[in-house]
Structure 1
Amino acid sequence: MKIELHQTVIREIVDGYRDDAEAGVVAYDGQLDVRPPYQREFVYNDKQRDAVVDTVFKGFPLNVFYWVAKEDGGFEVLDGQQRTLSVCQYAAGDFSVDVGGNRKAFHNLTNDERSRFLDYELMVYHCEGTDSEKLDWFRIINIAGEKLTDQELLNAVYTGPWLTHAKVIFSKTGGAAYGLGEKYLTGAPIRQDYLETALKWISDGTIEHYMSAHQHDQNANALWTYFRNVINWVEDTFVVYRKEMKGIPWGPLYDQFGKGPVDTDALEAEINDLMADDEVKAKKGIYTYVLTRNEKHLSLRQFDNTARRGAFTRQKGRCTNGTKCKTVGNSDGQMAFDINDMDADHIVPWSKGGKTTPDNCQMLCIACNRSKGDL
C-alpha cells in the first residue's frame, strides 16, 4: 500500500469547485471528485460546518484527509468529504461565520483574512494500492467521524465503468431503481442502500466478490435486469400492496420461488387472513411464510407464564410425550422436570387452528419439543 502525505493549501482545493448536487461535486482544478455521483449527501449540520471554518481561521489543525487515486489520474475523497465541502462552500459564499467578532462571508473578508483562510495547509494522504489493501486501510481510517457505509467503502475500491453505470441506476433519488422499487426497499439511494440491496440479492451476500468480478464491465445491465425481474415478480405475485412488503429480502425469495406457478387469488386470501390473525405477531413475515411455510417468520404468540405454570402443575412436571420422551433416563415417562427445563407447546398446532390459550397449552421437555418434527 502506497500512502504519501501532501501538504495542500485551501486555495488549491477550492480552485475549480463545482457542486452539481447529486450529479457530483468536484474541486482541485477538477481533479478531485469530492462526492462521486450520487455517493453521499452532505451530512454536517450548520454548527459542524461552521466549526470547520472557525478552526481554519484560528489556525488549529484539522483532521487529516485521505484521497484515493483513480484510474484516470485524478482523485476521489475517501475521508474528509464533509470538511472539504465546508471550506469549498465557504469560499463560494454559501454561508458566513464569526471572524474577529463579526459574521463574515468570504467576500466580506479583508485581504489578510482571506489569505489566512486560503493559505491554510491541509494534511492530505494520497493512497494507492491493491483493492484488498485499500479496503483494509479505508476501514481503519473510517473508525471515527462521519462513517462511510460498507457499500461506500466498496465503491471507493471498485471504481470503474461498471460502478459508474450502476450508480446512475441505483444511487440517484428519483432514478430508475428508486422509481421501480421504492415501495419495496428501505434506505436512501444516495447512501448506496439500493445498490447494496440489489448486489446482496444477485450475489447471495458476496457483494465484494461480485464487484471485483465485474469492476471492468462496461455496464451494469445484468444487475439492472435482475433487479427488474425481482420487483416485477413481486408485483405479479402479490397483487395487493401493503406497507409490510417494504424491506423484505425479495431477491432470495425470487431465486427460490420465482419460476413456479402461483394462484394469486388464493395467496392474497391467505395473506388477508393471516393479517387479521392476532396469533401472528410479525406481519411482515407473512410474505416469507406463504412461500416457505416456515412458521418462524410469523413470530406466533407465545404462552404467558400463567399458562405455562398451569400446564406444568396439571402435568406434575412430567413431559406429555410419555414413553416417547427423548430425555435420557425417562423411558417410562415418569421423570419430573424443573419448569425451566420444559417448553410450552400447542396441543392443537396453530397450523390446524389451535389458539394460544391456557386450555391448549402442554409442557414438553426441551429435548422433545425441539425434536417434534421427528415424532
Structure 2
Amino acid sequence: MNIRLVHIKVRDLFNGYKDNGDNGVVAYGGKLDVRPAYQREFVYKPEQQQAVINTLSKGYPLNVMYWADHGNGHYELIDGQQRTLSICTFLNGDFSCAGLFGIKQPQAFHTLPEDLRVQLLDYELTVYICDGTESEKLEWFKTINIAGEELTDQELRNAVYTGPWVSDAKRYFSKTGCAAYGLGSKYLKGTANRQDYLETVIYWYGDRENPQTEHRGMHDEAPAGSECPRPLGLFSTCHRMGRGALPHLSQGDEGASLGDLLQ
C-alpha cells in the first residue's frame, strides 16, 4: 500500500466546493468527496467551527487529514470531514468568527481585509493519501478510525468498495426517506444514513461471517450502470413475509429474523 504525504492549500481545497444536500458534498475542484451521497451529516458546534478557523488564522498546525485515492484523480475524505466542512463553509460565508487576527468583532470571510483573506487561503493543510488494494485500505481505515465521530463498519466498506452498485444501493438503503425506510423502518434497528439498513440486507443476502466479502463481490460483479434489484427484492420479500410470519416480535427485533426466512 502506498501512503503519501501532500500539502494542499486552503484555496485549492475550497475550489469547486458544493453542498448538494443528500447527494453529498464535494470540494478540491469537484474531485474530493467530502461527504458521500446519503451519508450521515456530522455537524460541529459553532465553537468547534470557530476553533478550526482560529487555528488557521494563527498559522498553527491543524490535525492531519486522510484521503482515499479512488483513481482517475478522484478522492474520498476518510478522516477530517468536520475540519474540511468548517473551512469550506466559512469561506463560503456561512458563518462568522470572532477573534480572527486580533479583531474582536465577528468577521465573515468576505469582511476581512484582503491580505488576511489571502493569508487564510494560502494556509497549507497536511493530508495523507492512501492508495492500495481494497483489503489494505480497509485495514488502514479501521486503524485511523479511532477518535472523534467514528465511521461504522459499513461506512468504512463503502469507502473502499466504490462503484455503480454501491452508489445505486445507497439510493435504496441509505438516503433519508429511502425505499427501505418506507418498507421496514419500524422493524429494523439503526438508521439509514449510518448505513445500518444497507449492512443488514447485505448480511441477509450473503456471507454473514464476512459481510465485506459479499459487499466486494456485488461491487465486482455489477456492470457499469447496473442497479441493485437483488438486495431490494430480498428486502421487500422478507418484509412481506415477516409481517405475517413474525407478528409476535417486537419492533427492532424483527430485523434480526426477517432475513432468516429466505435462508
Q: Distance in 1 between matches of 2:77 and 2:253?
A: 31
Q: Distance in 2 between matches of 1:61 and 1:24?
A: 27
Pairwise mapping of residues 1-375 of structure 1 onto structure 2 (< 5 A)? 1-98=1-98, 99=100, 100=102, 101-203=104-206, 204-216=208-220, 217=222, 218-238=226-246, 244-248=250-254, 249-255=256-262
Shift of 1:12: 0.4
Shift of 1:229: 1.0
**Identity of paired residues, percent?**
48
Change over 3 Å in CA distance of 1:113–1:167 after alignment to 2: same
Q: Distance in 1 between matches of 2:246 and 2:155?
A: 33
Shift of 1:54: 1.6
C-alpha distance after superposition, 1:277-310 (max 9, x if no partner):
xxxxxxxxxxxxxxxxxxxxxxxxxxxxxxxxxx
Shift of 1:245: 2.0
Determine if contact 1:199/1:205 at 8 Å carries over to the other structure. no
Q: Normalising by the residue count of structure 2, what TM-score does the alignment of the two structures yield? A: 0.91
Q: Which has the larger radius of gyration?
A: 1
Shift of 1:57: 1.1
Determine if contact 2:238/2:259 at 8 Å carries over to the other structure. no
Q: Normalising by the residue count of structure 1, what TM-score does the alignment of the two structures yield? A: 0.65
* One-letter amino acid of the structure 2 residue matched with residue 235 of structure 1: R
* One-letter amino acid of the structure 1 residue matched with residue 145 of structure 2: N
Q: Identify unmatched segments of 5+ residues in structure 1.
A: 257-375
Shift of 1:103: 0.6
Q: Distance in 2 between matches of 1:144 and 1:130?
A: 24
Paired position in structure 2 for 1:333? none
Q: Distance in 2 between matches of 1:253 and 1:64?
A: 44
Change over 3 Å in CA distance of 1:170–1:72 after alignment to 2: farther
Find runs of 4+ consecutive structure 1 residues off by over 6 angstroms.
none
Shift of 1:44: 2.0
Q: Distance in 2 between matches of 1:132 and 1:140?
A: 12
Paired position in structure 2 for 1:311? none
Q: Distance in 1 between matches of 2:9 and 2:204?
A: 44
* One-letter amino acid of the structure 1 residue matched with residue 20 of structure 2: D
Taking only aligned residues, the RMSD between alpha carbons, in angstroms, comes to 1.7
SS in 2 for 1:86: helix
SS in 1 for 2:106: strand
Q: Distance in 2 between matches of 1:236 and 1:42?
A: 38
Determine if contact 1:151/1:196 at 8 Å carries over to the other structure. yes
Q: Identify unmatched segments of 5+ residues in structure 2.
A: none
Determine if contact 1:230/1:250 at 8 Å carries over to the other structure. no
Determine if contact 1:14/1:91 at 8 Å carries over to the other structure. yes
* One-letter amino acid of the structure 1 residue matched with residue 202 of structure 2: L
Q: Distance in 2 between matches of 1:235 and 1:72?
A: 46
Determine if contact 1:57/1:117 at 8 Å carries over to the other structure. yes
Q: Distance in 1 between matches of 2:72 and 2:40?
A: 21
Greater RCO structure (CA 8 Å; 6+ sep)? 2
The more displaced of 128-137 and 64-73 is 64-73
